[in-house]
Amino acid sequence: MSPARSPFTATSAGASQPGQNPHGHSAGFDPRALRVLVFEDNARDGALIRKFLEAAGLRSANIYHADTIPSALQVLRREAIDLCLADYYLQPHTGLDLIDETRHLEFELPFIVMSALDDAAIDQRALAHGAYGFLVKGELTVERLDRAIRYALASHRREAALGRGAERDPLTGLLSRASFIESLTGAVANRIGKNAMVGLCLFETAALGDINDAFGLAAGDAALRVLGQRLRRAKGPLEAAARLDGNQFVLMMTDFLIAPHAATRGREVAAMLAEPLLWGDEMVPFMLSAGVSAQAVTGAESPRDSAERLLRRARHALREARTVDGGFRLGFAHVH
């Protein structure tokens, strides 16, 4: 945000001030090569964060600044950014919104969220969203910033070294079930108190068994990859997509106002997924069912409970679609 007075305060006696780096280059990363994006709309705060980064050994030319989500995405597309320091609240968005955007666009970089407020709720939301740290601006020192950056980079590298198997479905490249549940939980948490809605559309194809029987397992795998590609192309910038199990896929929707809008969006995507697949010289039909759930985020229950309830309702809607349709064609049902 952009208050008249910066939330940064003088650090305690003995703590490093901008311009001082008592321990030289920090262990764990080469600060001279590090490229950092500062997502901040307060000019004074942005200047002070830059001074702290320079004091930690970063080159001024490697410190980038953005104060809106579009400008931040432009930097990320243009530069090989290693880490983002994101202010929590920038009117009308938050640093968590930028995390959502980068995740949907599949940028791979760690985030540290900063705030003028020492608020445990903001801390928890940031960590639930996948941030690697939370810093209070008024308590910032060079040592704390240096330590937070080293931790974020080391954790991010460690996760990358373990591979993306836990995060991505290896066949389609979409989010895995566990990763999607975390993303859904974070989306719910970020919308508490905002009079916002979250919706799911669960897709299931019954064509997989027929394809395997007629053309072999390779064709079945190819069909699943095609569905994944179609869903990835269909999803919007504020949506997330995953393969849950076997022949089930899911789309999370957040850019709508009322439940019928979520149902309309689900129908649009289902129609894209249900287009026939060309295998050899044959057009193979995709028999598809889909179920939609949508609910307003009230904060009456935990984000995890809300996420699980949304998924249960989507499954219920999917079962209704199978029953109403009488087969596995483009059946549809929704609950809210």
Please determine, for residue 110, whether its predicted confidence score (pLDDT) is greater than 90. Answer: yes
Please determine, for residue 130, whether its predicted confidence score (pLDDT) is greater than 80. Answer: yes
Token output for 250 = 């899911």
Cα distance between residue 318 and residue 315, in whole Å:
5
**What's the average model confidence in pLDDT over 66-92?**
92
Among 165, 120, 123, 181, CA closest to 148: 123
How buried is residue 136: exposed, middle or buried, by Cβ count under 10 Å (0-12/13-18/19+)?
Answer: middle
Name residue, tokens 């079962």.
319
Domain at 36-161, CATH homologous superfamily: Response regulator (3.40.50.2300)
pLDDT band for position 320 (cuts 50, 70, 90): confident
| The listed CATH number (2.60.40.10, 3.60.40.10, 3.30.70.270, 3.40.50.970) that belongs to domain 177-335 | 3.30.70.270
Cα distance between residue 85 and residue 133, in whole Å:
10
How buried is residue 152: exposed, middle or buried, by Cβ count under 10 Å (0-12/13-18/19+)?
Answer: buried
Contact 200, 252 (CB under 8 A): yes
233-284 pLDDT, tens digit each: 888 878 899 998 888 999 999 888 888 888 889 889 988 888 887 777 778 7
Token output for 287 = 């028999």
27-78 pLDDT, tens digit each: 446 888 899 999 999 999 999 999 999 999 999 999 999 999 999 999 998 8
Per cent of the chain over pLDDT 70 is: 84
Q: Is 111 helix (H, G, I), strand (E, B) or coil?
A: strand
Nearest-Å Rg of the Cα atoms of the chain is: 23
CA 61 to chain centre: 28
Name residue, tokens 């395997």.
212
Name the segment(s) of the chain with CATH classification 3.30.70.270.
177-335
CA distances for 74 relative to 68, 105, 179, angstroms: 10, 12, 26
Cα distance between residue 333 and residue 9, in whole Å:
55
- Beta strands (DSSP E) in the chain are 36-39, 63-66, 83-87, 89-90, 93-94, 111-115, 133-136, 197-205, 240-245, 248-253, 277-279, 282-284, 288-296, 331-335
**What's the average model confidence in pLDDT over 312-329?**
69
Name residue, tokens 């997509």.
241
pLDDT band for position 202 (cuts 50, 70, 90): very high
160-179 pLDDT, tens digit each: 665 555 678 888 888 988 88
Cα distance between residue 295 and residue 297, in whole Å:
6
Rounded mean pLDDT of the chain? 81
282-316 pLDDT, tens digit each: 787 777 888 899 988 888 888 889 899 899 999 88
Name residue, tokens 């003088």.
10
Provide the 10 A C-beta neighbour count for residue 212: 15
Contact 205, 247 (CB under 8 A): yes
CA angle 231, 235, 237 (to 5 degrees): 155
Provide the 10 A C-beta neighbour count for residue 139: 14
Entry pTM: 0.52
Q: Tell me, what's the pLDDT at 25?
A: 41
Per cent of the chain over pLDDT 90 is: 33
- The most distant pair of C-alpha atoms in the chain lies apart, rounded to whole Å, by 77
pLDDT band for position 325 (cuts 50, 70, 90): very low
